[in-house]
Structure 1
Amino acid sequence: MTNGSPPVLPAESGIAEAAAVLRAGGLVAFPTETVYGLGANALDAEAAARIFEAKARPTFDPLITHLADAADLTELVGPVPPAVAALAERFWPGPLTLIVDRPAAIPPIVTSGLDTMAVRVPDEPSARALIAAAGVPVAAPSANRFGQLSPTRAEHVVAGLGYAVDVVLDGGPTRCGIESTIVDARGDRPVVLRLGALPVEALVEAVGPVIVRPGSSGQPVAPGTLAAHYAPRTPLRVAADVESAPGDGVRRGRLAFRERPTAGEWAAVEVLSPEGDLTVAAARLFDALHRLDAAGVTEIVAEPVPDVGVGRAINDRLRRAAATWH
């Protein structure tokens, strides 16, 4: 982690300054509806390389390219398959990333040498305004150290990356709280490569049956698909129906879905949604894990949520976080 704090500007009034930083080859952390992204000019190989360096991200893990408007897709990559166009029309702007063929204008480092590219249009006005003001597509993974918890607030970015970022745009907490859903719709049937903020059910309603194939062994075919990822610095395990902390004197934190544990000596407890709202739970997930990570506990015990809708993506993140420690 780089010591010190980068300039933090309000998202609405800092657009022009941040856009100038992007055009000059710098790094800008900015809010989207999902999580905060660490952006660089996607047409500039050296700028993209700075992303990998700042995050300590392996260069085999590709980046997502962000556009200001859905109309920019064909301008950048040319004609796309009908299913890709249909999904873009239905869900952009929004938390859906689509796989397309990499155009010559995008340097190979952005796609980790793959001949495909992940691309989306964020549903956050300040993010689209920034991209439009910069006048270039923006490559932007989550603005955190590689493999660690994603940032859903500007202060998460500052704490995690420090002066590795040239400027941070502060737009407050992100709305969705987990990353975009990634879909490859170039074949006969759309394939979900990463579960995310757009539920699988919404995709099925729009285009019919889809194949769900999250996870990756070897080189990832899409961002954020490694088996171990999204992890706090504190060891985490997933366990259902754990009400009591073991009475062994170990300081444990509990991540609960709806209700606080009624017994046991938990050192810290975070409840994602007392109302049982999975959308709210997703929005609070990483923020709650950041707080538990800072609470001085030696282990976090996370309760899975109902495995429907966006709950599937929440459980996916918890499994990947736990895989880091097991």
Structure 2
Amino acid sequence: MAGWLTHIGVQRAAMTMRAGGVIAYPTESVWGLGADPGNAEAVSRLLALKHRAPEKGLILIAASVEQVEPWLAPLPDVQRETLLASWPGPNTWLVPNGGLASPWVTGKHSSVALRVTAHPVAAALCRAFGGPIISTSANPQGRPAAKDAIQVRRYFGRQLDAIAPGRTGGRRQPSQIRDLASGKTLRP
């Protein structure tokens, strides 16, 4: 963990996000695009790069439960236990937002998509950044998600401000997305 946290490429990518940049980084199954979720301009640029409709919303990933605690505090114990049993790992949950995440993150939804990642580079990025970051697959809408940094460069060329080091975790499928309130699986 400490190795990736202090890696110059991870530090540079985190600094780039703090400065309003858009980056690419490896996750459990595919490469992702990331930005500061509190920076509307950076998120808007990320959405434009992907050709993604803003109303769809975006996922926030974190390095630890503590980084997403503001969304978990009001949850009933049984829901909280469900989340904690699935994290860290490739499990994204739709959790009531309560006004904490910006509309450019939630899109048209009243919930926010949260994941505590088990991927060492993605987790190190969140730690170095100081909190949750945007996570969406690194691909233009309608194209296959990038599986390596070479594909990221093919898709986006020099439009990205940084590309973090590392490789994907080798999972075949992206994270599962489930609604915490209903238990419904939205993406298997």
Question: Alignment length, in residue pairs?
Answer: 183
1:173-200 residue CA offsets vs partner (Å, 9 max, x unmatched): 432132100111213xx111111xxxxx
1:251-287 residue CA offsets vs partner (Å, 9 max, x unmatched): xxxxxxxxxxxxxxxxxxxxxxxxxxxxxxxxxxxxx
Q: Does 1:60 align with 2:75?
A: no
* Structure-to-structure mapping, 1:225-264, within 5 angstroms: none
* Structure-to-structure mapping, 1:1-326, within 5 angstroms: 12-76=7-71, 78-187=73-182, 190-195=183-188
For structure 2, the residue ranges without an aligned partner over 5 or more in a row are 1-5
Output the amino acid matched with 2:187: R
Q: TM-score, normalising length from structure 2?
A: 0.89
CA contact (8 A) 1:98 1:119 kept: yes
1:98-155 residue CA offsets vs partner (Å, 9 max, x unmatched): 1111243321011113211111011111111111111132111101111210112111
Shift of residue 164 of structure 1?
Answer: 2.1
In 2, the alpha carbon distance for the partners of 1:152 and 1:83 equals 36
Identity of aligned residues (%): 33
Shift of residue 166 of structure 1?
Answer: 0.8
Shift of residue 171 of structure 1?
Answer: 1.0
If asked which structure has higher relative contact order (CA below 8 Å, sep 6+), I would say: 2
In 2, the alpha carbon distance for the partners of 1:106 and 1:185 equals 17
CA contact (8 A) 1:77 1:102 kept: no
Change (3 A) 1:138 1:183: same
How large is the Cα RMSD of the aligned pairs?
A: 1.8
CA contact (8 A) 1:81 1:186 kept: no
In 1, the alpha carbon distance for the partners of 2:180 and 2:168 equals 31
Higher-Rg member (1/2): 1
Output the amino acid matched with 1:54: L
In 1, the alpha carbon distance for the partners of 2:10 and 2:37 equals 18
Q: TM-score, normalising length from structure 1?
A: 0.53
Give the structure with the larger helix fraction.
2
Change (3 A) 1:157 1:84: farther
CA contact (8 A) 1:83 1:185 kept: no
Change (3 A) 1:175 1:87: farther
